[in-house]
Amino acid sequence: MADQEKIKGSALLKLFAELQTNAIPLKMRLSNDNDAQLTYITDISKRNNALFLKVNSPEGSRKLSENSDRSRLRFQFTDQENIRYVFKAGNWKICREMIRIEMPEFIHRFQRRKLFRLEAPHGTRLLFNVNDIGYKLLVINVSLGGSLGVMASLTEQMEQELKPYTSNLLKNVALMFPSRDYKNPGSIVNIKYCQIKRQARNPATNNLECAFEFKEISEAEHKKLTGLFYKWQREYLRKRKTLRA
């Protein structure tokens, strides 16, 4: 199931401005009609202290004019990072072959984040014990559902004891994230149960890489991880936008 986030305020206005600048298509549909039509934002303006979007849709405007109950409009679009957004327009008006829509208070953003991985901040570690021996994974990437990394300081004996744990659950695992501020010790997310889904030697580096799935995590710790994940994603998208500019 996809996670859902509300985008509002200045972030909402910035997003709509990007839709206009990049001519990203919107799917427009009446709430009582299954037929979707493509349209684009052509203008963002302010009238009487309210912001309005203007979309170009000749076919859509004809259908709306014929709609006696003035059903609410529903819009959907996918951004350049393949993230889906949905919003409804409760106040709109037909202007020739354009539709003027009052800026919604918020839009919904959806993403299957358990499957969406981000590069972990440098220095991120996953710590766990096997037979009272401490293991450390240097995390390469992380999602809300698991992580991938390289085992550090691994002896031959430790590797042999780790192999059978591919089918077992690891208890009380600590996911540790570094801080950019030397005065801050960083963040720790405690995971009740993890499972090693894959162990394999990287043929190029000969390092043992392990993929972990987070099997059980408390609501509070999941909320902490989600907050960190959103933060990294925003930083990641900003970096990508800068590189493209």
Give the model's pLDDT for residue 240: 62
**3-111: which CATH architecture?**
Roll (2.30)
- On whether the CB atoms of residues 139 and 147 are closer than 8 A, the answer is yes
Partnered with residue 148 across adjacent β-strands are 141, 211
Task: Give me the pLDDT at residue 60, please.
Answer: 57
Q: Worst-scoring range by mean pLDDT, 45-54, 59-68, 92-101, 222-231? A: 59-68
Between CA 142 and CA 140 the distance in angstroms is 7
Domain boundaries, the chain: 3-111, 118-244
pLDDT tens figures, 75-131? 898 876 567 889 988 788 887 778 888 888 898 887 655 556 788 888 999 999 998
95-99, 160-164, 182-186: range with lowest mean pLDDT: 182-186
Question: Would you tell me which CATH number, out of the four given (3.40.50.300, 2.40.10.220, 3.30.1490.20, 3.30.830.10), belongs to the domain 118-244?
Answer: 2.40.10.220
| Structure confidence by residue, pLDDT tens digits, 6-40 | 888 888 888 888 888 888 888 888 766 667 788 88
